Amino acid sequence: MNIIQMLEKTASEVPQKTAIILASRRITYGELKEASSRVANALIKLGMEKGDHVAILMSHSPEWVINYFGVIKAGGVPVLLSSMLKAPELGSLLRDSDAKILITEKGFSQMLSPVLPDIPLLKHVIEIDGDSYKRMVASSLSTLPAIDIRGNDEAAIIYTSGVLGRQKGVVHTHASLLGTPNIVSAGIGRGREDVAIDPVPFFYLFGLSEVLFGSIIKGSTVVIIPHFTPRAVLEVIEKERGSILFGVPAMHNALAMLRDEVIQSYDLSSLRVASTAGAKSSPRLTKMLEDKFNLTLCETYGLSELSVVSMSTLNNHKLGTVGKPICDLKVVDDSGKEVARGEIGEAVFKAPWVMKGYYKAPALTAQVLKDGWFHTGDLVRMGEDGYLEYVEKKSFIIVTPSGLKISPWEVEDVLLRHPSVAEAAYVGVKDVQGGQIPTAFIALKKGQSATAEEITSFCCQNLADFKLPKQIKFIDSIPKTSSGKIDRRRLKEGDAILKLA
Express each pLDDT in 319-332 by its tens digit. 989 999 999 999 99
Give the separation between CA 421 and CA 446, rounded to whole angstroms: 9
Q: Measured between alpha carbons, how far is residue 271 from residues 118, 239, 268 in Å?
A: 48, 12, 6
- Amino acid, res. 18: T
Which residues of the chain are under the pLDDT cut of 50?
A: 496-497, 501
Give the separation between CA 276 and CA 409, rounded to whole angstroms: 17
Domain spans, the chain = 3-149, 181-394, 397-492
Q: Domain 3-149 belongs to what architecture?
A: 3-Layer(aba) Sandwich (3.40)
CB-facing half-sphere around the CA of 129: CA atoms within 13 A: 13
The predicted structure's pLDDT at residue 500: 52
Each residue's pLDDT tens digit, 338-358: 999 999 999 999 999 999 999
Give the separation between CA 160 and CA 278, rounded to whole angstroms: 12
Q: Which residues of 454-470 are buried (b: 16+ CB within 10 A; e: fewer)?
A: ebeebbeeebeeebebe
Q: What is the fold of 397-492?
A: GMP Synthetase; Chain A, domain 3 (3.30.300)
Are the C-beta atoms of 402 and 466 separated by less than 8 Å? yes
The predicted structure's pLDDT at residue 409: 80
Are the C-beta atoms of 217 and 181 separated by less than 8 Å? yes
The predicted structure's pLDDT at residue 496: 41
Assign 205 to helix, strand or coil. helix
The predicted structure's pLDDT at residue 394: 76
Q: What is the fold of 181-394?
A: Rossmann fold (3.40.50)
* DSSP-assigned letter for residue 466: G
CB atoms near residue 118 (< 10 Å) = 11
Q: Measured between alpha carbons, how far is residue 57 from residues 127, 133, 331 in Å?
A: 10, 15, 37
The predicted structure's pLDDT at residue 497: 44
Topology match between the domains 181-394 and 397-492? no
Give the separation between CA 144 and CA 33, rounded to whole angstroms: 9
Q: Measured between alpha carbons, how far is residue 337 from residues 3, 332, 447 in Å?
A: 38, 5, 51
Question: Containing H/E element for 318?
Answer: none
Are the C-beta atoms of 140 and 42 separated by less than 8 Å? yes
Give the separation between CA 121 and CA 230, rounded to whole angstroms: 42
